[in-house]
Amino acid sequence: MPRSNWLFQLLLVFLIILVPLPGRPHPHVFISQRTGFVFDDQGLAGFRVNWTFDEMFSVMISEDFDSDHNQTLDAKEVAVIKEKAFGYIAPYNYYIHVRIDGKPFEVKFIKAFNAWLDNGVVCYEFFIPCHVSAVDTPKQVVLSPYDPEYYSDIYFPDKAPLNMENADAFSTKIQMARDHATLIYYDTVNPMAIFLSFKRK
């Protein structure tokens, strides 16, 4: 093969890899999510969600909302972040997609929102009420975090991605796997999900 043709084909391969296709979204924000499944006396009470953001988004939030630039977010700054850098995802279930016994659960509101800086990295925490009473047969809950528009890429960390609170009174099984019942991003991806099964002991 002539050297010029070889160089042209090599350049073409790099362009295909590096240049995104028009019309195809790609993430700009990367979020590591830890999920707590919170129980009360009746059964599941809801989900405690903790997000840790990437460095670039953290710098942007810090510059825009840490008004006194002291690397600490006070209550007023957190309230502004909730309004301007979190509330807009409410129509998307706050990126938390839930099924209970196969039926979609709409996340209508969240509680106890907080935000802070951890060595310059922005973290959010919030609680999603979701009451599911335990019975003698297993209740099936599937939780999958994703942005349907793929502006944000949400993933589970390798270390301590989930925990259960006050679950000792119930028989539980929990695992992470691909949700083969759901397709996202132009029907090309099965998102990762947490599968929880619980019942009375």
Q: Which pLDDT band, with edges at 50, 70 and 90, does 34 fall under? A: very high
Residue recorded with tokens 């609170």: 165
CA distance 21 to 19: 6
Spatial neighbors of 41 by CB under 8 A, at least 6 apart, are: 169
Residue recorded with tokens 């047969």: 137
CA distance 135 to 131: 13
Tokens of 70: 């002291």
Residue recorded with tokens 């925490």: 125
Cβ distance 47 to 96 under 8 Å?
Answer: yes
CA distance 32 to 35: 10
- How high is the pLDDT of residue 41? 96
Map residue 24 onto helix, strand or coil.
coil
Q: Which pLDDT band, with edges at 50, 70 and 90, does 129 fall under? A: very high
Map residue 72 onto helix, strand or coil.
coil
Is pLDDT of 169 > 50?
A: yes
CB-neighbour burial class of residue 185 (10 A; exposed 0-12, middle 13-18, buried 19+): middle
Is pLDDT of 7 > 60?
A: no
pLDDT mean over 35-49: 98
Q: What is the pLDDT of residues 76-120, one digit of tens each?
A: 999 999 999 999 999 999 999 999 999 999 999 999 999 999 999
Q: Which residues pair with 125 in a beta bridge?
A: 50, 114
Cβ distance 67 to 77 under 8 Å?
Answer: yes
Residue recorded with tokens 């949700």: 179
Strand order in the sheet with 103-105: 103-105, 96-100, 139-145, 192-200, 170-178
CA distance 69 to 6: 53
Is pLDDT of 9 > 80?
A: no
CA distance 20 to 15: 9
Residue 134's identity, in one-letter code, is: A
- How high is the pLDDT of residue 56? 94
- What's the predicted TM-score (pTM) here? 0.85
